[in-house]
Chains A and B, each alone.
Chain A
Amino acid sequence: MQMQTVKSKKLIIIPAYNESESILKTIEMVKKAAPDYDYIVINDCSKDNTREILVRSKVPYIDLPINLGIGGAVQTGYKYAADNGYQIAVQIDGDGQHDPGYLKAMEKAMADKGLDMVIGSRFIENEGFQSSRLRRLGISFFSRLIRLCTGHTITDPTSGLRMAGKKAIDLFTVNYPKDYPEPETVVFAIIQGCRIGEVPVVMNERQGGVSSINPAKSIYYMVKVSLAILMARFSMK
């Protein structure tokens, strides 16, 4: 059993729901590209054998006894990071969409510009897998709404590839929505005084599993996230 020490103070959070096909590939990528990071898989009560794979491969994991959804899973990672004194926590999806090779660039941007949070954006250089046209439309709508609400330009507010510093980690431990958390947390972080930047990344198409957003849910997604952004902007905290 490998014990993780907290000497590196940098943590990769890998939320996983039914990712048995791709979780080990993702972890291999992480180990190779970011050896100076600790990593932890948050198994969000997967119905497939994700947990068995994690146990067998001696991967450090937290096993949620109830399915909390992506937000609850990622927040568990941030809480774990805060509890264990990590200075940097970065979220990488378990489905192989995110290339951990970008962590260095993100870390550099964070240090150079004194940022509290860095987002890996598909839409700065518009390379690689760009998602469907309809989704891009939704994303640019959120981007505009966020600019309207905060004055900040975030080109890829739905990106799940994001790095948080101490300030953002502490914020996310107290407030993180359960479903579709990405755009809302960006606004929340900006309102709470976090400095946010973006780094261009290329994303792969997912290697296995299914996206958490199907067509039937997209209307709910648009309405809920739009309202959440407005709420985050106008509620006094």
Chain B
Amino acid sequence: MSITIRIILLLAIGGYFVILWSLLSKKQLTLKYTLLWILIGILLFVLVLFPQILAVISRLLGFQENMNALYVCLIGFVYILLVSLTAIDSKQSEDIKNLVQENAMLEKRVRELESRLEEKTIG
């Protein structure tokens, strides 16, 4: 991996952290759901800063280029992120279902109470 590519990647990772920071400070991201993104940013930063780690991975997997090891790591990170997003989505969809059910049952109670109240005031 040439020094030029490493500098570009480091700058890109720096930009990535600036974006994360600005979204976090504007409360457009919740820290809870951003921790994984931050962690992955740090891992990428370490991999680019110390290409020896990539060299070890390359040797283990039989790659000629350290860049390929970086790609493999990136794809792995993206998969982990996607699975975590699906997990968050599943939980939210379950939460929404429970809320909808509770709300609908409450609506029935309110409706019945209102009509009972109406009967009383008329009667």
State whether A76 touches B105 (Cβ < 8 A): yes
- Taken residue by residue from 88 to 123, chain B's Cβ proximity to chain A (1 for < 8 Å, 0 otherwise) reads as 000000001100110111011000100110010000
**A112 at interface, CB cutoff 8 A:** no
CB distance from B29 to the nearest CB of A (A): 26
CB-CB nearest in chain A for B96: A66
Contact between A178 and B97, CB atoms less than 8 A apart: yes
Contact A68 B100 (CB under 8 A): yes
Contact with B along A49-67 (1 / 0, CB 8 A): 0000000000011111110
Total number of A-B contacts with CB less than 8 angstroms? 39
Q: When A1-B119, A63-B107 are in contact, do A68 and B112 touch as well, CB less than 8 Å?
A: no
**Which residues B4-43 have CB closer than 8 A to chain A?**
none
A 66-106 binary contact with B (CB < 8 Å = 1; else 0): 10100010011001100100000000000000000000000
Nearest-Cβ distance from residue A70 to partner chain B, whole angstroms? 13
Chain B residue numbers with a CB within 8 Å of A79 are 101, 105
Given contacts A1-B112, A3-B116, whether A62 and B97 have CB atoms under 8 Å apart is no
Q: Are B112 and A65 in contact (CB under 8 A)?
A: no
Q: Name the A residues within 8 Å of B100 (CB-CB).
A: 64-66, 68, 72
Distance between Cα atoms of A75 and B100 in the complex (Å): 11
A3: which B residues are within 8 A, CB to CB?
Answer: 112, 116
CB-CB under 8 A from A61, the residues of chain B are 108
Is A62 touching B116 in the complex (CB atoms < 8 A)? no
In whole angstroms, how far apart are the Cα atoms of A65 and B119 in the complex?
A: 27
- Residues of chain A contacted by B116 (CB below 8 angstroms): 1, 3
Q: Report the nearest B residue to A60, measured CB to CB.
A: B108
In chain B, residues 67-107, which have Cβ atoms closer than 8 Å to a Cβ of chain A? 96-97, 100-101, 103-105, 107
Assuming the contacts A1-B112, A1-B115, A72-B97, asked whether A65 and B105 have C-beta atoms less than 8 A apart, the reply is no
Question: How many angstroms between the C-alpha atoms of A36 and B49 in the bound complex?
Answer: 76
Q: How far is the CA of A62 from the CA of B108 in the complex (A)?
A: 6
